[in-house]
Structure 1
Amino acid sequence: MTTMQDIAAPSPANGHRQALRLELRRRRRALTPQQQREAAMRLGRRLRRLPEVQRARRVALYLPNDGEIDPRGLIPWFRRRNARVHLPVLRPLSRHFLWFVHYHDDTPMVTNRFGIPEPETRHGAHRARRRPAWALDLILLPLVGFDDQGQRMGMGGGFYDRTLAFTRRPGPRPRLIGLAHDCQRVEHLPVAPWDVPLDAIVSDGRIIRP
């Protein structure tokens, strides 16, 4: 039986990235709550087997929004391994860059301008818990789309691309793993000059290493 996860979208042409982005967002939102839960469990099993995930002690992940695959089941696992979990936060004085703030069960949360919960940082709150991206071991970031060559498509705001642009230069850097539902796979994605390459892409159906 063919499922939505078995069908790859047609290759985008002539820069129709926005139309494809809308279609892939529609696909992931169409998944039922049960499909979302099952996908998150399969994703977690794949991630826990990866050496770079097992080694990481300073980790960033995200709270799912708009149908994104859910990595939150990894939080207790990371903590049992004495890893510190961080969440992305929109930098208040910059419209296009992220901080990463240590997250625990009692962390005060606010809703950012996109309606996504994030740790409170106004008035200096959690200043000591903030980390720049280069100081992390691993960043798990959400994707809108991916292909079998390891190319990725984000939401279009450029927050991760700007924040992680330093990874193109020599120096300390985190491992970067993109997460998505398998139904977000396409045959081919064009590469934009600002797209930051990932070390791996993991879905509920596969692991891709470019």
Structure 2
Amino acid sequence: MLISRQTLRAQVRAARKALSIEQQNQFANQACQRAIQLITERGVKRLALYLANDGELDTQPLIDALWQRGIEVYLPRLHPFSPGNLIFLAYRVDSPLIKNRLGILEPKLAITQMRLPHQLDMVITPLVAFDANGNRMGMGGGYYDRTLAYWPLMGKPLPVGYAHDCQQVSHLPCEHWDVPLPMIITPTRIVNGA
């Protein structure tokens, strides 16, 4: 029996929210170590990622590690003029953050701090669920699919998923607009996908 995307999304979100604070902290630190190794091997200088929300794998240890290494960190922001799209703004310790209409913290708009996706080396994406083929299910808004649609043609930015191990499912139903990920970092491994 096939289960709907909505049901699958609810099940996986519940699984990650059920993790204890201790598990969340441990998993975030383990994933950070794997991510830093990959980022170092790839020579990444500019990287976008997200601030964890809704039980997502916490990115703060990774953000701190990136800052310590002098790697430029960017956060997504809902595009002010192009609904359904993202822009990326520099994120530093003193960057002002505001809640967007979805209740997610994002940088205050400052055009001088903006980077287009192809100006980044890597984008670490949030996700709700993934499978062994690198298929990714987000929250359903399509923001990252639209943002990363041209990465294979441009060669940048490399999209990398970041998730708890409990977010892996055997198979994800996919649509033609879904952008598969070449790799997904979890606390225990790097899953090579598309």
- Bucket of the pairwise TM-score, normalised by the shorter protein: over 0.9
CA displacement at 1:172 relative to structure 2: 4.0
2:66 pairs with one of 67, 75, 78: 78
Kindly provide the CA deviation profile for residues 94-139 of structure 1, in whole angstroms up to 9, marking residues without a partner as x.
2200000001111111100111111111xxxx21110111110011
Higher CA-based Rg: 1
Secondary structure of the residue that 1:43 maps to in structure 2? helix
Instruction: List aligned pairs for 1:171-186, cutoff 5 A.
Output: 171-186=154-169
Distance 2:42 2:58 in 1: 19
Q: How many residues align?
A: 193
Kindly provide the CA deviation profile for residues 139-196 of structure 1, in whole angstroms up to 9, marking residues without a partner as x.
111110011222211111000001111124x224111100111111111112211111
Distance 2:41 2:128 in 1: 22
Structure 1 length-normalised TM? 0.87
Which residue type is aligned with residue 51 of structure 2?
L
Does residue 200 (structure 1) correspond to residue 183 (structure 2)? The answer is: yes
Distance 1:79 1:177 in 2: 19
Residue of structure 2 in register with 1:98 after alignment: 86
Secondary structure of the residue that 1:46 maps to in structure 2? helix
Secondary structure of the residue that 2:150 maps to in structure 1? helix
Contact 1:59 1:84 in 2 (8 A): yes
Which residue type is aligned with residue 161 of structure 1?
D
Query: Matched residues, percent identical?
Result: 44
Structure 1: state its 5+ residue gaps: 1-11
Distance 1:187 1:118 in 2: 32
Greater relative contact order (Cα 8 A, min sep 6): structure 1 or 2? 1
Residue of structure 2 in register with 1:110 after alignment: 98
Structure 2 length-normalised TM? 0.93
